[in-house]
Amino acid sequence: MPGLNGLELQEKLIAAQSPLCVVVVTGVADVPLAVRVMERGAHTLLEKPYDQEALVKAVQAALARSLERSEKKLTEKVVRERMATLNEEEVQVLHGMLAGDPNKSIANDLHMSMRTVDRRRQTVLEKMGAKSVPELALMLGAAGAVKPNELLPALPQADSM
């Protein structure tokens, strides 16, 4: 490529936070080069001369992976935008919801009535576009907004004997 080699292009895509997944084709491949491009997210590296069918399969797989990345990025953006609409009290209720706490426990912890917790709980679900707490947890987990282990309620600790 005139003026830009494949590694430089890959670096530019990374800097632009592009969801595109690349297939690197090179005339001379060595282990350090392969490690470098793969660590930076390339789908694969093909050395010339390459099999045309292998190139087509690699490009198709890279396009599918790019689409997945793009969809995930869009999901993350939508979830972040929806989270930004929540006020502080709604975020506090959300944390209780994700912990699996019942409304009574959330109300006691936040020093508010159960009716207020119930209203805020419904508001959180509406603003986040979820029909249930499990759907909300999946949405947040898929978007990377919450780590999977944070979605599970803490297990009661057994008394040591």
Contacts of 127 (CB under 8 A, 6+ apart): 82, 85, 86, 90
pLDDT at 150 over 80: no
- The per-residue pLDDT for range 16-66, each reduced to its tens digit, is 989 889 999 888 888 988 899 899 889 999 999 989 999 999 999 999 999
- The per-residue pLDDT for range 102-122, each reduced to its tens digit, is 999 999 999 999 999 999 999
Taking the alpha carbons of 93, 96, 100, 103 in that order, is the dihedral positive or negative? Answer: negative
Contacts of 159 (CB under 8 A, 6+ apart): none
* CATH code of the region 85-150: 1.10.10.10
Query: Which CATH class for the 6-71 domain?
Result: alpha beta
Domains 6-71 and 85-150 share a fold: no
**Is residue 147 very low, low, confident or very high in pLDDT (cuts 50, 70, 90)?**
low
**Domain locations along the chain:** 6-71, 85-150
- Cβ-based neighbour number of residue 18 at 10 Å: 16
| CB 144, CB 150: distance < 8 Å | no
